[in-house]
Amino acid sequence: MDLHTHTRFSDGIGYIRDNIAEAERKGLRIVGISDHIHFFTSHVLNSYLSLINRAKKESETIVLAGIEANILPEGVDITDDMRKRLDYVIASVHMYFNLGSHYKYLELVKTAIQDENVDIIGHFGNVFPYIGHPSIEDYKEIVNLAEEYGKGFEISTRYRVPELDFIKLCIKRGVKLVFGSDAHQPKDVGNVNWSLKAFKKAGGKKEDLLFSELL
């Protein structure tokens, strides 16, 4: 699976059909289109979902309609009405932090985990090399909260996160995982080798993945 791909509907360079064609070429079972939410108006969303829904009927690969929302200090910028029309929502932090302020990042993630419109936390920890790494106790708190609220985490090949210990904690606590390339061009769709290797190294099995019933 690759549930994190972008198209010309946001900051990608390919069309939806191009991403799906690449997923088919690489033999993916599931591909998700998950463009950045801040590029959308209601009219653009209608066009986006119309094209994805048409592709669902035509593709041998399972196509899911997603979106990547932003985790902001005031909350996640996804509305109830928009969520109802999508198969899943990734929520990611796209903010800058000062060195030593990883706790601010974690507080934002906690907010997103508790948002009922969010399904997956995107590229968790991609900023840690620059702002400092949390403790294992911090990780446990995040995973426990995700278990309580039924949220999953992306294993991102682009950023090579989360850390192996975090992935192991998710598997141990039954927190679901997904693979994501974070592709911004069609040729990168399905490039999830690092995600798959990390998942297997952590002891993951098919049932530990979100949408495993489709695999």
126-158 tens-digit pLDDT: 999 999 999 999 999 999 999 999 999 999 999
pLDDT band at 2 (very low <50, low <70, confident <90, very high): very high
The arithmetic mean of pLDDT across residues 72-81, rounded, is 97
What does the DSSP assignment read for 125-190?
TTTHHHH-PPPHHHHHHHHHHHHHHT-EEEEETTTTBS-HHHHHHHHHHT--EEEE--BSSGGGTT
Residue 138: Cβ-neighbour burial (10 angstroms; 0-12, 13-18, 19+):
middle
- Mean pLDDT in residue range 106-135: 97
Instruction: Please tell me the predicted confidence (pLDDT) of residue 177.
Output: 98
pLDDT, position 195: 98
- Locate 23 and state its tokens: 């997923």
Per-residue pLDDT at 79: 96
Report residue 193's pLDDT band, with 50, 70 and 90 as the boundaries: very high
Write down the pLDDT at residue 181: 98
Residue located via tokens 């400092």: 132
What does the pLDDT average to over 175-186? Answer: 98
Placement of tokens 């080798």 in the chain = 193
pTM of the full structure: 0.98
- What is the average pLDDT score of the chain? 98
With bands split at pLDDT 50, 70 and 90, how would you rate the model's confidence at 211?
A: very high
**Residue 102's pLDDT is what?**
95
CA distances from 177 to 61, 105, 124, 161, 205 (A): 20, 20, 12, 12, 10
pLDDT digits (tens, 9 = 90+) for 20-75: 999 999 999 999 999 999 999 999 999 999 999 999 999 999 999 999 999 999 99
- State the pLDDT at residue 36: 98
The stretch 182-192 carries a mean pLDDT of 98
User: How big is the CA angle at 178 (ends 55 and 134), to the nearest 5 degrees?
Assistant: 145
Q: Could you give the percent of the chain with pLDDT greater than 90?
A: 100
